[in-house]
């Protein structure tokens, strides 16, 4: 099954990095065959027999600790899949395929009504699935557990409430600031061939090993493990917005570091992957935001950046550059949001999903609820469905419970950073010297090496000594933006 996984990932990578257009229809069939085969193996009678034998009373004594964990992990997936009646799962696959197409058409026409019946079906299937999976707690908990094992509405409500309580006031103070950074110079022409050179240079500085990976171009950047020793990243190059690709590359490099440092003893097991979507995101955001957007980083690398495109950066001071890349501007589109508003975009989606699955909100009422929350959190209202409720593809693919990972990743990253500094001392001097090895090593030995052996909660406890605590992110953001905008002290 892990070998089929490598095959699937390679086909995914190839399909997006340059497979000839005309071959993609046949490629899709091959992906279908191999995915179906892998799924069939995961729920086969043979697998059932294995699991029964391996979890029978007394059998534990014969298994190594890792094998026990592998069995538990496979059993969890087996139980989850086996609980859905086969006919229902098949019907759901078709509903999803149609929903994907309907969402594309609806987004293009900016008309939620075209997508609504599909979304209603998707929600209703996922409601039933969550009932099959669990009869305890909030109906949304079972969906959260798929993406971040152990996460619950109860925890998220608490954490997100604290985030909102301090981010929204911070945001409104920032918005009142009169000194608006000049960002116009960021959007000048930066030849793509030179951007490529710069990305390769920075990846090598960060410690990405091109003997164990490669950088390619795609419409949306991603990182993908082909196997434990071959983790590839992709980026996009926008000629008049170099930031877009640059921070994308650093982000994906963070994902790649994770997969490249999982303990070798986990190779070939389903534990040879990240602990959860949220923990994975913590690694990419750590590098993209906490390192790649730090003053220390640009203290060292701004001269290098400027040297790669003199026309663009001559006469621009390092500080002006740093302020420009931190300009805060509430916007409609999540993936274009700045560091400060981004978590609010995610919380909005979380609250809507939670309400849907608790039957407190109807699909038909989503667009209205969306507009209200945008106004409340960000002070803006989307002009249409395309810039509002139809912007993300997740729901059309039946991905409910996944959005929180994007905010969790940020929270985890800040909490890990706090623990790292406690252990290593201030990391800014390391970054200023381009000495990333101790940082990489800390992340590898505390987080990466464990693969999926620990839940996010266990990782947090073991690494930071406390459960999820939003104060770390809030303190980090307050301190950072206070310095940038020279705000008065906060209450």
Contact 235, 215 (CB under 8 A): yes
CA distances (Å), 339 to each of 114, 167, 325, 355, 484, in order?
A: 33, 11, 10, 26, 13
Nearer to its own copies (CB atom), residue 204 or residue 475: 204
The structure tokens 């079972």 sit at: 142
Give dist(CA 163, CA 347) in Å, integer.
9
Nearer to its own copies (CB atom), residue 69 or residue 230: 230
Nearer to its own copies (CB atom), residue 33 or residue 475: 33
Minimal distance in Å, beta carbon 263 to its own copies? 15
DSSP H helices, 314-436, are 318-324, 342-357, 366-378, 404-424, 428-432
Give dist(CA 142, CA 165) in Å, integer.
27
Under the binding rule (CB under 8 A), the answer on residue 101 touching its own copies is no
Contact 119, 96 (CB under 8 A): no
Backbone angles phi, psi at 225, to 5 degrees: -80, 115
> Which region, judged by CB under 8 A, interacts with its own copies, from 59-67, 106-114, 205-213, 247-255?
205-213
Under the binding rule (CB under 8 A), the answer on residue 72 touching its own copies is no
Minimal distance in Å, beta carbon 203 to its own copies? 13
Under the binding rule (CB under 8 A), the answer on residue 53 touching its own copies is no
Give dist(CA 222, CA 13) in Å, integer.
9
Q: Which of 49, 79, 197, 209 binds its own copies (CB under 8 A)?
A: 209
Under the binding rule (CB under 8 A), the answer on residue 6 touching its own copies is yes
- The two structure tokens encoding residue 471: 């104060």
Under the binding rule (CB under 8 A), the answer on residue 267 touching its own copies is yes
Under the binding rule (CB under 8 A), the answer on residue 27 touching its own copies is yes
Q: Which of 64, 211, 486, 489 binds its own copies (CB under 8 A)?
A: 211
> Which region, judged by CB under 8 A, interacts with its own copies, from 157-165, 227-235, 310-318, 374-382?
227-235
Long-range contacts: 182-189, Cβ < 8 Å, 24+?
182/320, 182/324, 183/324, 183/327, 185/312, 185/313, 185/316, 185/324, 186/241, 186/242, 186/243, 186/324, 186/325, 187/240, 187/241, 188/240, 188/309, 188/311, 188/312, 189/239, 189/240, 189/311, 189/312
Under the binding rule (CB under 8 A), the answer on residue 33 touching its own copies is yes
Under the binding rule (CB under 8 A), the answer on residue 178 touching its own copies is no
Q: Which residues of 10-30 are buried (b: 16+ CB within 10 A; e: fewer)?
A: ebebeebeeeeeeeeeeeeee
Nearer to its own copies (CB atom), residue 249 or residue 312: 249
| Length, in residues, of the chain | 491
Under the binding rule (CB under 8 A), the answer on residue 90 touching its own copies is no
Nearer to its own copies (CB atom), residue 52 or residue 197: 197
Q: Is 205 a catalytic residue?
A: no
Minimal distance in Å, beta carbon 191 to its own copies? 15
> Which region, judged by CB under 8 A, interacts with its own copies, from 226-234, 357-365, 407-415, 442-450?
226-234
Give dist(CA 290, CA 284) in Å, integer.
10
Under the binding rule (CB under 8 A), the answer on residue 454 touching its own copies is no
Under the binding rule (CB under 8 A), the answer on residue 426 touching its own copies is no
Classified as helix, coil or strand, 33 is helix
Q: Which of 162, 196, 214, 299 binds its own copies (CB under 8 A)?
A: 214
Under the binding rule (CB under 8 A), the answer on residue 16 touching its own copies is no
Under the binding rule (CB under 8 A), the answer on residue 197 touching its own copies is no
Under the binding rule (CB under 8 A), the answer on residue 232 touching its own copies is yes
Minimal distance in Å, beta carbon 321 to its own copies? 32
Q: Which one, of 221, 186, 427, 426, lies nearest residue 326 by Cα?
A: 186
Under the binding rule (CB under 8 A), the answer on residue 26 touching its own copies is yes
Nearer to its own copies (CB atom), residue 30 or residue 53: 30
Q: Which one, of 485, 489, 480, lies nearest residue 294 by Cα?
A: 480
* Neighbour order of strands in the sheet with 215-217: 215-217, 230-235, 223-227
Under the binding rule (CB under 8 A), the answer on residue 56 touching its own copies is no
Minimal distance in Å, beta carbon 6 to its own copies? 5
Under the binding rule (CB under 8 A), the answer on residue 226 touching its own copies is yes
Q: Please state the residue numbers annotated as binding site for Zn(2+).
A: 251, 255, 281
Nearer to its own copies (CB atom), residue 156 or residue 203: 203
Give dist(CA 119, CA 396) in Å, integer.
7
Under the binding rule (CB under 8 A), the answer on residue 14 touching its own copies is yes
Helices (H) and strands (E) in the chain, counts: 21, 3
Q: Which of 19, 161, 194, 364 binds its own copies (CB under 8 A)?
A: 19
Under the binding rule (CB under 8 A), the answer on residue 207 touching its own copies is no
Catalytic residue among 252, 259, 339, 353: 252
Give dist(CA 81, CA 39) in Å, integer.
9
CA dihedral sign, ordered 291, 253, 149, 156: positive
- The two structure tokens encoding residue 78: 């087996």
Under the binding rule (CB under 8 A), the answer on residue 23 touching its own copies is yes
Classified as helix, coil or strand, 389 is coil
Q: Which of 110, 183, 229, 319 binds its own copies (CB under 8 A)?
A: 229
Judged by CB under 8 A, the chain residues 376 through 395 that form the site for its own copies are none
Minimal distance in Å, beta carbon 74 to its own copies? 18
Active site residues: 252
Query: Which residues contact its own copies by CB under 8 A?
Result: 3, 6-7, 10-11, 14, 18-27, 29-30, 33-34, 209-214, 226-230, 232, 267
């Amino acid at each position: 099954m892990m070998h089929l996984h490598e095959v699937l990932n390679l086909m995914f990578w190839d399909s997006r990095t340059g497979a000839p257009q005309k071959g993609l229809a046949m490629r899709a069939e091959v992906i279908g065959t191999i995915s179906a085969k892998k799924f069939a193996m995961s729920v086969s009678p043979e697998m059932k027999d294995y699991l029964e034998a391996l979890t029978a009373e007394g059998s534990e004594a014969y298994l190594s600790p890792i094998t026990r964990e592998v069995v538990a992990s496979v059993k969890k997936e087996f139980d989850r899949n086996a609980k859905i009646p086969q006919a229902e799962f098949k019907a759901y696959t078709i509903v999803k395929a149609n929903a994907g197409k309907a969402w594309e058409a609806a987004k293009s026409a900016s008309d939620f009504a075209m997508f609504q019946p599909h979304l209603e079906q998707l929600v209703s299937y996922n409601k039933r699935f969550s009932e099959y999976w669990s009869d305890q707690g909030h109906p949304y908990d079972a969906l959260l557990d798929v993406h971040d094992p152990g996460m619950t509405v109860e925890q998220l409500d608490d954490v997100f409430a604290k985030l909102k309580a301090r981010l929204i006031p911070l945001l409104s103070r920032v918005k009142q600031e009169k000194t608006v950074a000049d960002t116009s110079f960021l959007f000048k022409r930066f030849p793509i061939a030179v951007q490529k050179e710069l990305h390769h240079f920075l990846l090598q500085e960060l410690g990405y090993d091109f003997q164990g990976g490669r950088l390619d171009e795609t419409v949306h950047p991603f990182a993908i493990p082909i196997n434990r020793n071959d983790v590839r990243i992709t980026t996009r190059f926008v000629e008049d917005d170099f930031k877009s690709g640059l921070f994308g590359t650093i982000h994906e490099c963070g994902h790649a570091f994770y997969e490249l440092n999982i303990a070798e003893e986990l190779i070939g097991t389903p534990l040879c992957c990240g602990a959860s979507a949220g923990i994975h995101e913590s690694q990419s955001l750590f590098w993209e935001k906490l390192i790649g957007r730090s003053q220390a980083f640009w203290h060292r690398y701004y001269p290098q950046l400027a040297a790669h495109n003199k026309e663009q950066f001559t006469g621009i001071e390092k500080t002006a550059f740093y302020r420009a890349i931190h300009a805060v501007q509430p916007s409609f589109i999540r993936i274009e949001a700045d560091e400060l508003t981004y978590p609010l975009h995610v919380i909005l989606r979380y609250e809507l999903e939670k309400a849907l699955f608790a039957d407190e909100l109807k699909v038909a009422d989503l667009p209205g609820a969306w507009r209200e929350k945008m106004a409340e959190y960000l002070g803006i209202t989307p002009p249409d469905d395309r810039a509002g409720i139809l912007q993300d593809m997740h729901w059309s693919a039946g991905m409910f419970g996944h959005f929180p990972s994007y905010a969790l990743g940020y929270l985890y990253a800040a909490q890990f950073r706090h623990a790292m500094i406690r252990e290593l001392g201030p990391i800014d001097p390391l970054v200023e010297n381009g000495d990333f090895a101790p940082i990489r090593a800390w992340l590898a030995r505390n987080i990466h090496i464990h693969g999926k052996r620990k839940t996010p909660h266990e990782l947090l406890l073991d690494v930071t000594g406390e459960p999820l605590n939003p104060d770390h992110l809030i303190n980090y953001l307050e301190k950072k933006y206070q310095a940038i905008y020279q705000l008065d002290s906060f209450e």
